[in-house]
Amino acid sequence: LSSSAALLRQEIERLEGEYSALQMAREVLDEANAALQSRFSPALGRRAAEIFARLTGGRYSGVVLDRAFRVSAEPAGDPAYRDAGLLSAGAAGQLYLAVRLAICDLVLPPERNLPIVLDDALANFDDDRCAAALRYLKEEAGKRQILLFTCHSREAEFFAGDNEVSVQRLTDAV
């Protein structure tokens, strides 16, 4: 019994050491998270607001991310922010695209010109929203390569005759 008790005490000591290390790691991660939120979240909100305003033709002027990175938008001329869940599906889609593109702008080093890959990012946009997004993406493509994958044809039709945009069809379907 005394041998078993000694083994259990050793196991307790090992687990307490592991627990202390995990506790310390959590504290460091909490501090890093707080620093990230205080520095990154406001910059992300500002950049997302710029992009969102462009995508919506100025209908929205602000974007805020809370501590849990939930996103809300401010309609132009109305200081009351709207949670993304209260926006129309199209506006919410534009908002999330704006946030994703803002993250890319803030995180990807500009000197490396890393490409952005979007897969059916505009699939749920109506034609006007899709056109606004495509105009914005074409402008951004002057800074970095943007690859937009889609199973729809309207994006290709939008850029038909535009020699600055390369459209590759992987099937003969139209």
pLDDT tens sequence across 134-154: 999 999 998 889 999 998 889
31 versus 155: the higher-pLDDT residue is 155
Model pLDDT, residue 173: 61
Average pLDDT over residues 97-111: 89
- CA–chain centroid gap for 130, Å, is 18
pTM: 0.75
HSE toward the beta carbon, residue 146, CA cutoff 13 A:
21
As a whole number of angstroms, the distance between CA 116 and CA 144 comes to: 8
State residue 137's pLDDT score: 95
Confidence of residue 6 (pLDDT cuts 50, 70, 90): very high
Q: 3-class DSSP state for residue 152?
A: coil
Of 55-59, 62-66, 71-75, which range is least confident?
Answer: 62-66
pLDDT in tens, 31-54: 887 776 677 778 888 999 999 999
In degrees and rounded to multiples of 5, residue 122 shows phi and psi of: -110, 10
List, in order, residues 6 or more apart from 108 with CB less than 8 Å away.
Answer: 114, 116, 144
